Structure formats: structure tokens, C-alpha cells
């Protein structure tokens, strides 16, 4: 249950004074940040920091002016606090992450806790353990909520309540959620504001905290959108076919008549649109020709848009022309930190104090306190203070033409301290596949680059962020066209003199591990070795084992992504084609992996044994999809580096 630990107070003061300590070790590169989030209280008096110590996260409260420790909020046992926000000037609400039995990585089960800045009145306020606390006999014991909770609106105008999405627990997460008031002191649920009709419901509130739009998907992944027009008493269902294949609700307009959404309604790329809540009008605000909008910047109350982020190669921003003070401040910050990714995490109600985070490819993150009254910007701490940017390798954006003429982009990070004229190269493939690589600090990239390997990252077709057509191009082509993009990128790097033929290995986690094996099968002589971590190696097994097919809409996703054709699934599965592999293989996996169950690795190892293929393994108990434990991450990279060095000498 929640509690206080004043010993954590020493952490931020140490970080404020700490500085780089020479070339970064693997332990430093993979170190879990001591502070992962910081937000200022509405009055500007206090700082709340999510800190890591004794193997788990807690929230530490400091006096803004003196940095004196005031208290902390934590969960005893195997649970820890997650993301948080200030519910009012004295109280913080946080998600709870729970460590599952036999697992090292904590999981969010939708529980919420709250506590005051001085560490007092700490309570579990929502979730299946919220009723455990024994209260005085004159106070009714809270009822246990077997539901997942997520915050919709902090309701800054209401000091006692927040608005949450409550979804009854089910094995598939397929039950529709409801928007419910929750008392941040007593944990009692109040009025149900609106109930969604479909799972995955996303609620938007207006300036008064009233729910005005809700979206969800049915079990066939078809979108449904409901809205409450201004002055109306009845909800209406909007024509969701007008919103394209991508739909993310963002905010209700300040006048309460419209909603901002991210959608590809009138084109291939996801842009910002404004739709009337009565369904009569739709207007595109902005869409980029090359990429989707990465995200939008919202005011701290989550109700208004003031900027958009675009990632064609490096982060860039478009600031909305609005009366919001955040837009003015953000413009100034972009001028002050050119070439950086910039985020405002919070500000005081009077607009004087602002917490700002900046980061880059060689800066994991730095937090600042902006005082607009004194016109000062004071650094608070660096996320990983032992890492010196001068010791890391800058990341370059690249673009090339793939095998069929499709334009594909990615990133290249040159090796540092390489003994060769052309450094050996590792093709590091991202997971997903519906994800993408960004220009940012990546410990895997820097671990490789600072130890003499150049790194190539490819945003192959099927990656997100480059439009719906580019995304769909990966469907049913996991085993051929996606891999041919990766192969084309490798050949491009060799032709450009960035790599040497015969001195390239391929490496990845999850889908990246699948690609490491599948690309080695398609081009047996191109890669000197392959490293796969938490990989999927038998596509047919995805319909039988793992958590994807158990999720609401999971089967529909698999059918669109890999299809049902048994012959093609086997053709695209490494376990059935290891005879074509000529390079040594390194297999890493966690025995507790639910996304890509350990059986994938077992089947691959058996197939390699049956064909007398050379391979090494790194298997760990308690680890799920990818290694969470820092010691395991470091040991995995140490062993992978030895493997790479052995085959790229």
C-alpha cells in the first residue's frame, strides 16, 4: 500500500551536482534514469518527481525554492508508481504498475493511488486493491473496482474529483468503458458521465469538463464515433467512414462546437483536422506531404492544442496561432533550444513557472525550470548525468530508393574509435512492424557505435509515421518486401562507402529479431551474422500462442498483417527455412514472454539443431518481451558484442 520514504530525498540533489565521468560504460548507457518525470504544482510551490531507487519508482516531493524534501509517495511490495499528475495544489494522482508473478517488468493494471505533497493521506483510490485499506467504522469501506482506470480529465476546476475511464476487467480488454467521476481523497466513484458503446473508448471533454466525444472500435476493428453537439440532449453517431483509416481524438475546440482529431480523412498522411460535433463540417488544419504528424502538444489540462510535432528526419514543430500562453512560451523555447526535441511537462496556474524537458540523439534528456517573472532558465538535472554527449556518436538521417523504387528513410550512426578505415556495420531493425525509428537517444545504438560498429536503422515499409499507404504496404509482406527494404538499405550503405561488403551483421528485437533471421534467409551471403532477441520465428504459432490473438481485435490484426495462407506463412517463417541460413545466429529470449512466447525460440533452436547450424543463446527467466532488468540488458549486450566482434573481425 502507499507509504512514505524520506531517504529518497537525496537522489535529486546528487543529480543536480553530478557531471560526466568519462566514456560511458554499458552500465551507464543502460542505466534506468533516476528521475523519469517532473511536474510543478498548480501554485508553483512544489515539485513532484518520479524517481527510481531500491529497484522501483516512487514520487518524491520537493520545495521548489529550496529543494527541501517534503515527502514521498510509493507503493509497498512488488508494485510501484507510474505516470502522474497534480489533481489540485496539494495532491497528486498516479497510476500503479504491478510486478507480475515470476516477471521482472511491471505492468499497468489500471490502478490509481493518490497522496499529498507532504507524504500524508496516501490512498489507493481506484482498482481491485482500493478496498483493502481498513477505515474508521463510521466511514463506509470503499468497494473494490475490478476494472482498469485511466485518466480522461484532471478537472482543474474541481479540487476533489477527476474524470476517469473505467473499463471492467476481461481477458480480451473488450468491454466498453465508462467516463466516471472519482474522488481523489476518498476514492469513491461518483456520477457516471457517459458510457461508451465499444471497446477502446477514447473520451474528449470540453472546457467545462463535460464529455462531448467518444470513439471506439468493434471486434472487426471498425471505428465508431459519438458526439454531443452544443445544446443537444441526445448523442449522435457520426459517419466514421469520413475519417479515413487513422483516427485519434485530440481535444474539443475552445468554443465547444468542434473537435480536433488526427486523421488521414482527405489524404494518405495523418494530419490535424477540425470536425463539427454535429457532423456537418470537416476542415483540414495541417497535413505534411511526407510524414504523419507525430503528435500534438496539449496545454497541461489536456484540453487545448498549441503545437504539432513532425518527424520527417529530425524533430520539427508547427506552433498554432492561438491565444494560449503555451504557444508563446513554446516558440521561445524552440529558439532557445534549436535542434532539440522540446516538451513542456507542466506549468503553474499563474503562468510564472514552467518545467521543460529537452533531448537529442546524444542527450537522453535534461530538465529545466523556466521562471518567466525573472526571465531565467535554470537546469534542474540531466536524466543520465554520467553520460557525456561528446563521448556519443551523432545520428544522421538517410534516404534511399528500395528494390521497387519506393523511397525509404532511416538513420545512420557512424562508429567511434574504429580501427578500420570502414567500420563494420550492424543493421539494427526496429520492432513492430507498425512502429518506427526516431532521431533520439537509443542505448542500443550508442552501445554499438561507441564500441566500433556503425549502425544502420531502416524505416521499412510497414513502419508507422509515413502514411497509410506506406503502412499497408507491409501487410502480407513481412517475409519478402519488408526484408527487401532492409536488404536494399544494406546494399545502399555499402555502395555509399558507409559499410564494407562482408563486414555487416543484422540485429533486432521482436519483429526486428524476425527480420534478422528472415533477411539472412533471403540473402544468405549478405550478413556475416544475425542477432535476434524476443523474436517471432513461426508465423502460424501467432494464431495459437501469445497474447495478440487474445486481445480484442487481435485476430483481425493478425489476419490483416500476416494473413491465413498456410503456405505463405510457412514460407515467411524462419523455423521452416533455416536450411538457407549460412551465417551464425545469436538467439536471446525471456522465458516469460507473452507477446512472442519462448516456444518461438525453442522451435528455432530445434530447427537449427536439425540442420546442424551454428548458433549461441542467451535465455533468461522472469523476462517478458525484451529484457527489463538492467543487469540482463547489460549482459545481453556484452554477449552480443562478443558475438559481433567474433564474426566481423
Average pLDDT over residues 147-155: 88
pLDDT at 258 over 50: yes
CA distance 478 to 549: 18
C-alpha pair distances (Å), 130 with each of 118, 146, 171, 275, 642: 21, 10, 21, 39, 48
**556 in a domain, yes or no?**
yes
* % of the chain residues with pLDDT over 70: 92
Phi, psi (5° rounding) for residue 256?
75, 5
If you ran DSSP here, which 8-state letter would residue 242 be given?
Answer: G
Average pLDDT over residues 166-188: 82
Read off the pLDDT band of 324 (50, 70, 90): confident
Higher pLDDT pick, 197 / 227:
227
pLDDT confidence of residue 541: 95
Tens-digit pLDDT profile for residues 356-411: 999 999 999 999 999 999 999 999 989 999 999 999 999 999 999 999 999 999 99
pLDDT confidence of residue 522: 97
Average pLDDT over residues 475-483: 97
pLDDT at 138 over 50: no
pLDDT at 61 over 90: yes
Last residue of a domain, one of 184, 202, 226: 184
**151 in a domain, yes or no?**
yes
Query: Highest mean pLDDT range out of 18-27, 128-137, 156-165?
Result: 156-165
> 3-state DSSP helix/strand/coil percent for the chain, to nearest 5?
20, 35, 45
Higher pLDDT pick, 244 / 205:
205
Average pLDDT over residues 571-593: 96
Tens-digit pLDDT profile for residues 418-469: 778 899 999 999 999 999 999 999 999 999 999 999 999 999 999 999 999 9
pLDDT confidence of residue 581: 96
Helix (H, G, I), strand (E, B) or coil at 545: coil
CB atoms within 10 A of CB 319: 16
CA distance 275 to 52: 42
Domain count, the chain: 2
Contacts of 7 (CB under 8 A, 6+ apart): none
Higher pLDDT pick, 279 / 47:
47
Q: Let me know: does 620 contact 627? Beta carbons within 8 Å.
A: yes
pLDDT at 476 over 60: yes
Per the listing, cell 506549468 goes with 347
Last residue of a domain, one of 184, 217, 247: 184
Helix (H, G, I), strand (E, B) or coil at 388: coil
Average pLDDT over residues 305-317: 96
pLDDT confidence of residue 551: 73
pLDDT at 174 over 80: no
CA distance 416 to 391: 9
Q: Let me know: does 486 contact 427? Beta carbons within 8 Å.
A: yes
| Residue 191 CB-half CA count within 13 A | 6
**161 in a domain, yes or no?**
yes
pLDDT confidence of residue 101: 59
Q: Find the largest Cα–Cα distance for the chain.
A: 78
Q: Let me know: does 165 contact 179? Beta carbons within 8 Å.
A: yes
pLDDT confidence of residue 108: 81
The C-alpha cell of 11 is what?
537522489
pLDDT at 10 over 70: no
Q: Which residue in 443, 366, 458 sits closest to 411, CA to CA?
A: 458
Tens-digit pLDDT profile for residues 514-551: 999 999 999 999 999 999 999 999 999 999 998 887 77
CA distance 171 to 552: 9
CATH of the domain at 488: 3.40.50.1820
Read off the pLDDT band of 103 (50, 70, 90): low
Helix (H, G, I), strand (E, B) or coil at 303: coil
Tens-digit pLDDT profile for residues 611-646: 999 999 999 999 999 999 999 999 999 999 999 999
Rg (CA), the chain: 25
**329 in a domain, yes or no?**
no
Tens-digit pLDDT profile for residues 332-347: 999 999 999 999 999 9
**80 in a domain, yes or no?**
yes
The C-alpha cell of 642 is what?
562478443
CA distance 371 to 386: 27
pLDDT confidence of residue 25: 95
**17 in a domain, yes or no?**
yes
Q: Which residue in 575, 461, 474, 566 sits closest to 517, CA to CA?
A: 575
Report whether the peptide linkage leading into residue 470 is cis, meaning its omega lies within 30 degrees of zero.
Answer: no
- Domain of 165 in residue numbering reads as 1-184
Last residue of a domain, one of 162, 184, 206: 184
CA distance 20 to 237: 56
**211 in a domain, yes or no?**
no
Phi, psi (5° rounding) for residue 399?
-150, 145
**196 in a domain, yes or no?**
no
CATH of the domain at 29: 2.40.128.660
CA distance 20 to 16: 12
Phi, psi (5° rounding) for residue 459?
-90, 75
Q: Which residue in 28, 204, 193, 45 sits closest to 116, CA to CA?
A: 45
Per the DSSP assignment, residues forming a β-bridge with 273 are: 261, 284
CA torsion angle 421 424 428 429 (round to 10): 100
CA distance 211 to 158: 15
Amino acid at each position: 500500500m502507499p507509504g512514505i520514504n524520506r531517504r529518497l530525498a537525496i537522489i535529486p540533489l546528487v543529480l543536480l551536482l553530478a557531471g560526466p565521468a568519462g566514456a560511458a560504460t554499458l552500465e551507464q548507457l543502460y542505466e534506468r534514469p533516476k528521475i523519469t518525470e517532473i511536474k510543478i504544482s498548480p501554485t508553483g510551490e512544489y515539485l513532484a518527481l518520479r524517481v527510481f531507487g531500491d529497484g522501483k519508482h516512487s514520487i518524491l516531493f520537493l520545495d521548489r525554492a529550496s529543494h527541501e524534501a517534503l515527502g514521498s509517495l510509493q507503493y509497498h511490495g512488488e508494485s510501484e508508481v507510474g505516470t502522474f499528475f497534480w489533481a489540485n495544489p496539494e495532491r497528486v494522482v498516479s497510476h500503479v504498475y504491478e510486478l507480475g508473478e515470476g516477471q521482472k517488468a511491471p505492468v499497468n493494471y489500471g490502478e490509481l493511488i493518490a497522496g499529498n505533497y507532504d507524504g500524508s493521506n496516501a490512498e489507493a483510490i481506484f482498482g481491485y486493491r482500493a478496498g483493502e485499506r481498513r477505515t474508521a467504522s463510521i466511514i463506509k469501506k470503499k468497494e473494490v473496482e475490478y476494472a482498469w482506470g485511466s485518466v480522461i480529465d484532471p478537472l482543474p476546476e474541481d479540487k476533489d474529483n477527476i474524470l476517469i475511464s473505467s473499463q471492467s476487467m476481461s481477458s480480451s480488454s473488450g468491454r466498453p468503458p465508462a467516463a466516471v467521476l472519482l474522488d481523489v481523497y476518498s476514492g469513491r466513484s461518483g456520477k457516471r458521465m457517459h458510457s461508451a458503446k465499444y471497446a477502446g473508448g477514447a473520451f474528449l471533454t470540453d472546457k467545462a469538463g463535460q464529455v462531448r466525444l467518444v470513439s471506439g472500435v468493434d471486434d472487426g476493428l471498425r471505428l465508431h464515433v459519438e458526439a454531443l453537439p452544443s445544446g443537444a440532449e441526445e448523442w449522435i453517431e457520426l459517419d466514421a467512414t469520413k475519417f479515413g483509416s487513422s483516427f485519434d481524438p485530440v481535444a474539443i475546440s475552445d468554443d465547444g462546437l468542434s473537435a480536433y482529431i488526427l486523421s488521414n480523412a482527405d489524404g494518405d498522411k495523418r494530419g490535424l483536422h477540425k470536425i463539427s460535433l454535429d457532423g456537418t463540417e470537416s476542415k483540414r488544419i495541417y497535413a505534411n506531404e511526407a510524414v504523419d504528424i507525430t503528435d500534438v502538444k496539449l496545454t497541461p489540462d489536456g484540453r487545448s492544442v498549441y503545437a504539432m510535432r513532425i518527424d520527417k528526419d529530425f524533430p520539427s514543430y508547427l506552433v498554432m496561432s492561438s491565444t494560449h500562453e503555451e504557444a508563446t512560451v513554446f516558440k521561445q523555447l524552440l529558439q532557445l533550444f534549436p535542434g532539440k526535441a522540446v516538451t513542456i511537462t507542466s506549468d503553474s496556474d499563474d503562468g510564472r513557472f514552467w518545467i521543460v524537458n529537452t533531448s537529442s540523439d546524444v542527450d537522453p534528456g535534461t530538465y529545466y525550470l523556466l521562471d518567466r517573472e525573472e526571465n531565467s532558465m535554470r537546469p534542474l538535472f540531466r536524466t543520465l548525468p554520467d553520460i557525456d554527449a561528446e563521448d556519443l556518436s551523432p545520428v544522421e538521417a538517410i534516404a534511399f530508393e528500395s528494390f521497387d523504387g519506393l523511397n525509404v528513410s532511416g538513420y545512420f550512426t557512424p562508429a567511434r574509435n574504429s580501427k578500420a578505415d570502414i567500420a563494420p556495420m550492424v543493421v539494427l531493425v526496429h520492432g513492430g512492424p507498425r512502429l518506427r525509428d526516431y532521431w533520439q537517444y537509443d542505448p542500443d545504438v550508442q552501445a554499438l557505435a561507441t564500441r566500433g560498429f556503425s549502425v544502420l536503422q531502416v524505416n521499412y515499409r510497414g513502419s508507422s509515421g509515413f502514411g497509410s499507404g506506406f503502412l499497408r504496404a507491409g501487410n502480407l509482406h513481412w517475409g519478402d518486401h519488408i526484408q527487401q527494404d532492409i536488404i536494399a538499405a544494406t546494399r545502399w550503405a555499402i555502395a555509399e562507402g558507409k559499410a564494407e561488403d562482408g563486414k555487416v551483421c543484422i540485429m533486432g528485437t521482436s519483429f526486428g529479431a524476425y527480420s534478422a533471421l528472415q533477411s539472412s534467409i533471403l540473402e544468405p551471403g549478405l550478413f556475416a551474422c544475425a542477432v535476434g532477441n524476443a523474436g517471432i520465428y513461426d508465423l502460424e504459432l501467432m494464431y495459437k500462442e501469445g497474447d495478440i490473438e487474445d486481445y480484442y481485435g487481435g485476430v483481425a490484426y493478425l489476419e490483416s498483417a500476416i494473413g491465413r495462407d498456410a503456405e505463405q506463412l510457412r514460407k515467411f517463417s524462419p523455423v521452416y527455412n533455416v536450411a538457407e541460413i549460412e551465417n551464425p545466429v545469436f538467439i536471446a529470449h525471456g522465458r516469460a514472454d507473452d507477446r512472442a512466447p519462448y516456444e518461438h525460440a525453442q522451435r528455432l533452436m530445434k530447427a537449427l539443431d536439425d540442420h546442424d547450424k551454428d548458433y549461441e543463446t542467451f535465455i533468461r527467466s522472469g523476462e517478458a518481451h525484451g529484457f527489463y532488468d538492467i543487469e540482463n540488458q547489460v549482459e545481453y549486450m556484452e554477449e552480443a558484442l562478443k558475438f559481433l566482434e567474433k564474426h566481423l573481425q
